[in-house]
Chain A
Amino acid sequence: MGMFKTTEEFEKVIVGFFQLVGNTPIIADKLLESKMVIRFTYTDPDLVVVVDCAGEKTEVRPHDTETKAVVEMTMSSDIAHRFWFGMVNLTKALTRKEMVAKGPIPKVLKLLPAIKPSYAMYPQYLDANGFGQYNITKAYTPPTA
């Protein structure tokens, strides 16, 4: 069992974060320039999310298994979670198939500089949206009644 116990909980966290990233101009502008459509297939718990940058604004669509994606990325929810903290050794994760990517990989790698600001945003987003228990950069203090 990973850090997230249910699909619903992971969906709330990751979809909300993707929407935040998609609405942050410094990142979104570069994502939209790429015209990339990426499908993330997560395991443990299972979830599919499409991030569609092909239009005028970034769209985040959970459970979208129909759209033809340019890039397909598969990983566990824990790896995804740690990635957005900047804590995943990307080279190792790809070599060891902890992350599997299909599609024009060089184009995906070119997005790494664009999403760099999101590593600092993720823990702040978790804290600000009631997901503080998932913020692994600090000791968690449960909210008092």
Chain B
Amino acid sequence: MGGYAGQILYVNLTSGAIEKKPLDMDFARKHIGGLGFGATIYLDLIKNHPVDFDPLSELNPFVLMTGPLTGMKMNGVARWTVCSKSPLTGFYGDSNVGGFFGAQLKFAGYDGIVITGKAAVPSYLYINDDIVEIRTAEPYWGKDVYTVTDALKEDLKEGQKSGQALVIGPAGERMVKFASIINNKGHAAGRTGMGAVWGSKQLKAIYVNGTGKIKIAKPEALDELRAELKELYADSIGIMALHSAGTATHMDVGIIGGDIPIKNWQQTEWDDIDDIGPTVIEEKIFAGHKTCFGCGVACKKSAEVKEGPFQMEKGPGPEYETIATFGSMCLNSNIESIAKANEICNRYGMDTITCGSTIAFAIECFENGLITEKDTDGLRLTWGNSDAIVKMTEKIGKQEGFGAILSLGSAKAADHIGGIARDFLTTVKGLEAPMHDPRSAHGYGLAYAVSPRGACHEASLTFEAEGGLIFIPEIPELSADLPEGSEDRAQLNVACQDYGMFFSNCAIFCNLGGSPLNATQAIDMVNHVTGFDYTLDEILKIGRRLWYLKRGLTNLFGARAKDDRLPNRLMTVLEAGPTEGSVPDMDRMLAEFYELRGFNAEGVPEKQILESVGLPELAGLLHL
């Protein structure tokens, strides 16, 4: 067998107990890896306790898992996953991230880490191959992500070789509800507030240094596949675009069809959009290409602002989602300020989608007189006020003044502000929607509505399939030429969930770097690395089971049909622009989806459905 490191690390921060458990290969075969492992282990840890525990209490486990491909020197496979109960939504939360940490963890001999309990004092986990210790984080507590990343690497390096640091910033320590966990300063497990879970456990960082290697079960077959893929990648226009300008390319492409939310989702056209597009980025802030472990796509870009009010040292640059949330959403056409806001989010450790969206929401509250400069500590939160946007970002990280209110996320901030503030929300299940407008592609609307973690374009492959980035000829729904509108979007979503759980949740392909692959190539890669003999039918069954597991966890934490709705803001008909007159037919899509997935009227999968996909324990918990 290959692909796996062969052990899972269990760390109890309360007792200090550290246990290394061998990875059961039957378990590996059944769940593949990533969230297939993570969500299964998570359910196992909470199933015997009341489920209404506080996500910020020691009762909330945290699970970090790599996949069988993590650590391979190939395009689009550097990723790994985390899951826990989300402090932002109160439901199941997870996040998927690239960078270098996952590879290094496997080289140290571990496929994942399960963390329970809460440390008595600020701590970090030190892993150096077989040596695993819980150490005091006193010297690092209170310091930002960049400082701690550099310090850990310097303090713990052996000779010239440094390991990888996974770190929370001051936002995580203060339990900002959308705090992230960050590797190498810019690779963020951002969505759903996993950094706050670490903060509640007083876990500042995990440092890992590994010297081992991962075995490949069928190296010759993998080499042949690599040769085939080399040509595929060389011819892929999507990959060329990502390599050249990164995800910011979408600023130029997405605007054509009305995909980019502008002015807190009130419009899809804006004269200043090119001021935050890839050409201006290259002229004003671009400072080099970056990548994840082993990936030649290199879609990450560095940024630097050499002078002016938004000066920042060279570091990770803003990606598309960040450019849109802090830019078009706020009518902010100053790209340097967006780079600065991104840097603040990275240093404090905050999700840029929730942070930027929450500021756009607050601007609309300000413009409508629901809050004033008295509330905002003197900041004029007006459309396009780049200075105020950057200052408010920092206040959120510090939980200072009005920043403390916004650090709860927009949904809870709306409850605090009152009045018509909720009309300006863009959340599903408490998670702010990403920067892709369902009025331009109706299937996104259903994807956001039923995603277990809340509004998310990467919770399945609907964004990639309906948006056109992937083409999977082996799966009819993922290669069909769908008519415009809401027709057949329920079937599309089901197929995108089942295949997506395999692709980007279990095998953990990158949805961007892995986009040229068809299903045969993706499955072959997993088989050649692991030595398993998965078929398309089998991986779809595994994917389906994981999707029901994640949905069931969210149901277990209280989500019901009423939580599967899009906010009014995303359902408002626009009177101009590419999406003029178009809104998703949510009633139709939800009814079809519930039927296909075997949900009852409450939005809970029927008991026999859960049993039939191999989740009898979950069925028992949901249907007492």
Q: Are A110 and B238 neighbours in the complex by a CB distance under 8 Å? A: no
Q: Are A91 and B244 neighbours in the complex by a CB distance under 8 Å? A: no
| Whole-angstrom distance between the Cβ of B516 and the nearest chain A Cβ | 9
Q: Does B475 contact A (CB under 8 A)?
A: no
Q: Are A90 and B253 neighbours in the complex by a CB distance under 8 Å? A: yes
Instruction: Identify the stretch in B417-425, B466-474, B520-528 within 8 Å (CB) of chain A at 4 or more residues.
Output: B466-474
Instruction: Identify the stretch in A5-13, A54-62, A94-102 within 8 Å (CB) of chain B at 4 or more residues.
Output: A94-102
Q: Does B313 contact A (CB under 8 A)?
A: no
| Whole-angstrom distance between the Cβ of A29 and the nearest chain B Cβ | 14
Q: Does A128 contact B (CB under 8 A)?
A: no
Q: Does A143 contact B (CB under 8 A)?
A: no
Q: Does A113 contact B (CB under 8 A)?
A: yes
In the bound complex, how far is the Cα of B255 from the Cα of A90, in angstroms?
A: 11
Choose among B252, B255, B471 the residue that contacts A110 (Cβ–Cβ < 8 A): B252
* Nearest B residue (CB) for A115: B256
In the bound complex, how far is the Cα of B256 from the Cα of A92, in angstroms?
A: 13
Q: Does B384 contact A (CB under 8 A)?
A: no
Number of B residues whose C-beta is below 8 Å from A? 24
Q: Does B237 contact A (CB under 8 A)?
A: yes
Q: Does B609 contact A (CB under 8 A)?
A: no
Q: Are B252 and A91 neighbours in the complex by a CB distance under 8 Å? A: no
Q: Does A106 contact B (CB under 8 A)?
A: yes
In the bound complex, how far is the Cα of B415 from the Cα of A4, in angstroms?
A: 57
Q: Are B279 and A113 neighbours in the complex by a CB distance under 8 Å? A: yes
Q: Are B578 and A109 neighbours in the complex by a CB distance under 8 Å? A: no
Q: Are A90 and B256 neighbours in the complex by a CB distance under 8 Å? A: yes
In the bound complex, how far is the Cα of B252 from the Cα of A101, in angstroms?
A: 17
Q: Does B241 contact A (CB under 8 A)?
A: yes
Q: Does A116 contact B (CB under 8 A)?
A: yes
CB neighbours (8 Å) of B449 from chain A are: none
In the bound complex, how far is the Cα of B218 from the Cα of A23, in angstroms?
A: 59
Q: Does A131 contact B (CB under 8 A)?
A: no
Of A95, A96, A110, most B-chain CB atoms within 10 Å: A95
In the bound complex, how far is the Cα of B277 from the Cα of A88, in angstroms?
A: 20
| Whole-angstrom distance between the Cβ of A3 and the nearest chain B Cβ | 17
In the bound complex, how far is the Cα of B468 from the Cα of A120, in angstroms?
A: 24
In the bound complex, how far is the Cα of B255 from the Cα of A95, in angstroms?
A: 18
In the bound complex, how far is the Cα of B240 from the Cα of A109, in angstroms?
A: 10
Of A90, A91, A95, A105, most B-chain CB atoms within 10 Å: A91
Choose among B241, B257, B467, B468 the residue that contacts A86 (Cβ–Cβ < 8 A): B257
Q: Are B238 and A95 neighbours in the complex by a CB distance under 8 Å? A: yes
| Whole-angstrom distance between the Cβ of B333 and the nearest chain A Cβ | 13
Q: Are B249 and A109 neighbours in the complex by a CB distance under 8 Å? A: yes
Q: Are A113 and B468 neighbours in the complex by a CB distance under 8 Å? A: no
Q: Does B538 contact A (CB under 8 A)?
A: no
Q: Are B468 and A116 neighbours in the complex by a CB distance under 8 Å? A: no
Choose among A92, A105, A112 the residue that contacts B467 (Cβ–Cβ < 8 A): A92
Q: Does B278 contact A (CB under 8 A)?
A: yes
Q: Are B240 and A95 neighbours in the complex by a CB distance under 8 Å? A: no
With A101-B237, A112-B253, A113-B274 as contacts: A91 and B467 at CB distance below 8 Å:
yes
In the bound complex, how far is the Cα of B468 from the Cα of A97, in angstroms?
A: 11
Chosen A-B contacts, 17 in total, with CB atoms closer than 8 Å, are: A90-B253, A91-B253, A92-B468, A92-B469, A95-B468, A95-B469, A95-B470, A95-B515, A105-B237, A105-B244, A106-B240, A109-B249, A109-B278, A110-B278, A110-B279, A112-B253, A116-B256
Give the B-binding residues of A (Cβ under 8 A): 86, 89-96, 101, 105-106, 109-110, 112-113, 116, 119
